[in-house]
């Protein structure tokens, strides 16, 4: 079976990985200051931050609509027997619902609700590409990765809760308390939704080091295949510190740095970094 793997732009894979695996990306819409853009197509995160600073308004995001999915899946099916598509968590967006509507209309499209975001989705996408290359059929890929998503460990340390507060994803009281105490909360994904975990105090670079040590404190529970270090715009010193702590704690076979796209960045803001991996 000749399978095309597709994913929403929220998977936050690098252009090199997307090109290497021939992944088709369906971009969400990002709006700011009365203008709308396609995530990763005609706007990048740094440009989005500039617009947010210039307008004083946070960006909003919109799901890929049914027609956009129809167009992408139809194009893929011209040269492939089936499509396996990955969406951001259905609790965070209407993408999954819209993709399923398009899939039902077309047939031969298998949609996976990642119950996740960012390179949590990216892990599933890369696994699907490998399974497709190994000759696994589309239904089996869908079933296996729907099960495997439960083993993902996805979290981020944020520099500020202000973006999440304004986007309605945390309370004003929590954001005010974190800002006053100069805390850097850990945001985790569980059961398809975001929650606030441990709060770190101090400079971001030291908070990132402590966060990585905490997440990898039980190396025997970690799947060693791959880890993503994904950020929404941090200094190179913070990225290097995160990788140093990762490599000190666990001998991952692949350590991949990625930059979060506009959809994820618009909700978490700059200064966010996470490590995303599988548990055994």
pLDDT value for 1: 83
**What is the number of domains present in the chain?**
2
Residues 117 and 217 both lie in one domain? no
Between 160 and 15, residue with greater pLDDT:
15
pLDDT value for 180: 45
209 lies in which domain range? 152-279
Q: Are strands 24-26 and 3-8 parallel, antiparallel or unpaired?
A: parallel
In contact, 23 and 125? CB cutoff 8 Å? yes
In contact, 158 and 164? CB cutoff 8 Å? yes
Residues 113 and 182 both lie in one domain? no
Residues 114 and 172 both lie in one domain? no
- β-partners of residue 4 are 83
Residues 232 and 192 both lie in one domain? yes
In angstroms, the CA 193 to CA 117 distance is 9
Residues 174 and 260 both lie in one domain? yes
Q: Domain boundary at 150, 182, 217, which?
A: 150
Mean pLDDT to the nearest integer, 202-229: 97
Q: Domain boundary at 150, 181, 196, which?
A: 150
Q: Radius of gyration (Cα) for the chain, nearest Å? A: 18
Residues 110 and 62 both lie in one domain? yes
In angstroms, the CA 193 to CA 272 distance is 18
Residues 62 and 118 both lie in one domain? yes
Residues 145 and 156 both lie in one domain? no
In angstroms, the CA 64 to CA 192 distance is 18
**Averaged pLDDT of the chain:** 92
- β-partners of residue 85 are 6, 111
pLDDT value for 178: 45
User: Can you give the CATH number for the domain in which 246 is found?
Assistant: 3.30.1180.10
How many Cβ atoms sit within 10 Å of the Cβ of residue 152? Answer: 21
Closest CA to 237 of 204, 212, 266, 268: 204
φ, ψ dihedrals at 252, nearest 5°: -60, 145
Closest CA to 13 of 165, 226, 267, 199: 226
User: Can you give the CATH number for the domain in which 44 is found?
Assistant: 3.40.50.10170
Residues 70 and 8 both lie in one domain? yes
Residue 236: is it exposed, middle or buried by C-beta count within 10 angstroms (0-12/13-18/19+)? Answer: exposed
pTM for the model stands at 0.93
Residues 56 and 167 both lie in one domain? no
Helix intervals (H) in the chain: 15-21, 45-55, 66-77, 95-106, 119-133, 138-148, 162-166, 172-180, 204-215, 236-249, 262-268
Residues 53 and 189 both lie in one domain? no
The secondary structure element, H or E, covering residue 112 is strand 109-113
pLDDT tens-digit map of 40-93: 999 999 999 999 888 888 888 999 999 999 999 999 999 999 999 999 999 999
Residues 77 and 169 both lie in one domain? no
In contact, 140 and 245? CB cutoff 8 Å? no
Which residues, other chains included, contact 98 with Cβ-Cβ below 8 Å and sequence gap of 6+? 63, 64, 65, 66, 69
Q: Domain boundary at 150, 166, 190, which?
A: 150
In angstroms, the CA 280 to CA 277 distance is 10
pLDDT tens-digit map of 151-195: 999 999 998 766 655 544 444 444 444 454 467 889 999 999 988
DSSP assignment letter at 87: E
């Amino acid at each position: 079976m000749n399978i095309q793997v597709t994913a929403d732009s929220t998977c936050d894979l690098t252009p090199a990985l997307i090109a290497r695996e021939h992944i088709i990306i369906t971009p969400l819409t990002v709006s700011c200051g009365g203008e709308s853009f396609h995530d990763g197509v005609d706007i990048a995160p740094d440009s989005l931050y500039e617009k947010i600073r210039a307008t004083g308004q946070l960006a909003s995001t919109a799901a890929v609509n049914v027609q956009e999915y129809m167009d992408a899946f139809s194009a893929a099916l011209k040269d492939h027997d089936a499509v396996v598509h990955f969406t951001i968590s259905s609790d965070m967006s209407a993408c999954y619902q819209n993709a399923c509507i398009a899939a039902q209309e077309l047939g031969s499209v298998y949609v996976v609700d990642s119950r996740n975001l960012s390179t949590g989705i990216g892990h599933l996408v890369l696994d699907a590409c490998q399974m497709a290359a190994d000759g696994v059929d589309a239904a089996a890929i869908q079933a296996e990765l729907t099960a495997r998503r439960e083993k993902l460990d996805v979290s981020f340390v944020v520099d500020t809760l202000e973006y999440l507060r304004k986007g309605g994803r945390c309370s004003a009281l929590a954001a005010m308390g974190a800002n006053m105490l100069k805390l850097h909360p850990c945001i985790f994904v569980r059961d398809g939704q975001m929650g606030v975990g441990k709060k770190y105090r101090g400079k971001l670079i030291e908070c990132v080091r402590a966060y990585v040590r905490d997440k990898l404190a039980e190396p025997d529970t970690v799947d060693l295949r791959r880890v993503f270090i994904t950020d929404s715009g941090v200094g190179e010193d913070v990225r290097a510190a995160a990788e140093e702590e990762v490599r000190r704690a666990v001998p991952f076979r692949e350590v991949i740095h990625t930059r979060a796209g506009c959809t994820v960045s618009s909700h978490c803001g700059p200064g966010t970094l996470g490590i995303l991996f599988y548990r055994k």
